[in-house]
């Protein structure tokens, strides 16, 4: 980092800290020739979609991971390979349209449950049970009730017993 004052390329770091938003590293530098002091900010360059996890960690979006989650939910259901690809494609493009490069993992979970709900009710419940069960058990049970009620209304022949056999 060249000195902004005299152009000397030898500067030393005299203090390092984190910026207030927590997203960059702030370095106080001093030119070794003219002793001019200045501050630099270093931030990661997000050139691809990043996911912020519940615990605050940030990792690159993985299409494979999303696909694996969807596939697990639709296992042994009447859902085609193409339908799975469509769900993954739609979610990915909705995430790309998001105004920031960092999306919360919760958003991916919500988008996936939304698509699965339209695709297959059992897959939907399986998915929601995996991604919501630990943090929001009550909400999960409410959703389960709602789906079971809907199945009974839509297809009089279904019973809660044989639906849970499928889970």
- For Zn ion, the closer of residues 31 and 88 by Cβ is 31
Least distance between Zn ion and beta carbon 10 (Å): 9
Cα–Cα distance, 12 to 17 (Å, whole number): 15
Among 1, 6, 14, 23, binds Zn ion (CB under 5 A): 6
Least distance between Zn ion and beta carbon 139 (Å): 59
**Residue 70 phi, psi (nearest 5):** -65, -40
70: which DSSP letter? H
Contact 96, 108 (CB under 8 A): no
Q: Which of 111, 133, 110, 113 is nearest to 121 (CA)?
A: 113
Residue 96 contacts Zn ion per CB under 5 A: no
Residue 3 contacts Zn ion per CB under 5 A: yes
Cα Dmax for the chain: 85
Among 1, 2, 8, 141, binds Zn ion (CB under 5 A): 8
Which residues, 26 to 65, sit near Zn ion by CB under 5 A? Answer: 31, 33-34, 36
SS3 (DSSP) at 60: strand
Residue 16 contacts Zn ion per CB under 5 A: no
Q: How many residues bind Zn ion (CB under 5 A)?
A: 8
Contact residues: Zn ion, CB under 5 A: 3, 5-6, 8, 31, 33-34, 36
């Amino acid at each position: 980092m060249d000195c902004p004052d005299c152009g000397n390329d030898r500067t030393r770091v005299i203090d390092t800290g984190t910026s207030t938003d927590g997203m960059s590293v702030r370095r106080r530098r001093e030119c070794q020739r003219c002793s001019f002091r200045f501050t630099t900010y270093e931030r990661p360059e997000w050139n691809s979609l990043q996911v912020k996890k519940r615990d605050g960690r940030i990792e690159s979006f993985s299409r494979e991971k999303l696909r694996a989650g969807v596939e697990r939910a639709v296992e042994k259901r009447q859902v085609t390979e193409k339908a799975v690809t469509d769900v993954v494609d739609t979610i990915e493009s909705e995430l790309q349209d998001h105004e920031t490069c960092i999306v919360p993992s919760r958003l991916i979970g919500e988008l996936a449950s939304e698509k699965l709900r339209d695709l297959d009710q059992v897959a939907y419940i399986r998915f929601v049970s995996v991604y919501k069960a630990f943090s929001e058990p009550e909400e999960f049970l409410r959703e389960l009730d709602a789906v079971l009620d809907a199945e009974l209304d839509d297809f009089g022949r279904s019973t809660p017993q044989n639906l849970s056999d499928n889970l």
